[in-house]
Chain A
């Protein structure tokens, strides 16, 4: 399968713990996005990478959240000192880059986080 992959698929943690999620984009895609989705809502944009550069962060991304994309390949999203409100599905997407308007994002299966 050459699609976007995310690990782990599920994560249960206790409040206050740190968690890290990984996303492996489609290999030739230079753009990578992170979203958060809560039950009954559409995905909300969190942050975006063009190759290894993090170019945009939503105000939804508090200081407890950090994302990296070393070498412009896979990306990690870390949440420090998790809170119960962080419980959500965290989605990663990638796109080829370079297109205007026609850019299509391809999503991974997501990581479902439950903070107890």
Chain B
């Protein structure tokens, strides 16, 4: 199992860029890195997924170094509505769905 480690909580002021780093030292060759966002009383929402280097979409960027042992989710110019729990998942969600583990996530609090 590719275990992940990420900070339990983070605080940021509105308008700042937030970077959440996830460690996954035993990532396997076929594993992808996926990030989800979850608001209270809602299901997780897909944010971004990558395999290596950098991926960017309309809401975030994902940076993955060459050794793939860590990844960093970057949220540009956060607002109060970005206050949520962010989960880093590592695995092959196409075949190893039961081994893709959601840890406790990182609780991000955006301060006015």
Cross-chain contact B30 with A58 (CB below 8 angstroms)? no
Query: Which secondary structure characterizes the binding site on chain B?
Result: loop
A4, A41, A104 interface centre (most CB from chain B within 10 Å): A104
Nearest opposing residue in chain B for A10, CB measure: B41
Report A5 CB to chain B, min CB distance, Å: 11
Cross-chain contact B41 with A112 (CB below 8 angstroms)? yes
Given contacts A42-B104, A101-B30, A112-B41, contact A106 B97 (CB under 8 A): no
Set A44, A58, A98, A105: member contacting B46, Cβ < 8 A: A105
Q: How far is the CA of A104 from the CA of B92 in the complex (A)?
A: 10
Q: How far is the CA of A110 from the CA of B44 in the complex (A)?
A: 10
Nearest opposing residue in chain A for B91, CB measure: A101
Given contacts A103-B93, A108-B43, contact A48 B104 (CB under 8 A): no
Given contacts A42-B103, A91-B43, contact A100 B97 (CB under 8 A): no
Chain A interfacial residues counted at CB < 8 A: 31
Chain A residues with CB under 8 Å of B51's CB are 101
B49 at the interface (CB under 8 A from A): yes
Q: How far is the CA of A8 from the CA of B96 in the complex (A)?
A: 29
Q: How far is the CA of A100 from the CA of B102 in the complex (A)?
A: 19
B residues 92-110 touching A (CB-CB < 8 Å): 92-95, 97-98, 100-105
B69 at the interface (CB under 8 A from A): no
Chain B interfacial residues counted at CB < 8 A: 26
Cross-chain contact B43 with A101 (CB below 8 angstroms)? no
Cross-chain contact A100 with B41 (CB below 8 angstroms)? no
Cross-chain contact A104 with B101 (CB below 8 angstroms)? no
B contact set with A: CB distance below 8 Å: 30-32, 34, 36, 41-46, 49, 51, 87, 92-95, 97-98, 100-105
Q: Could you show 19 A-B contacts with beta carbons less than 8 Å apart?
A: A4-B43, A33-B97, A35-B102, A40-B104, A42-B101, A42-B105, A45-B97, A56-B98, A58-B98, A98-B94, A99-B94, A100-B95, A101-B31, A101-B93, A103-B94, A104-B49, A106-B46, A109-B42, A110-B43
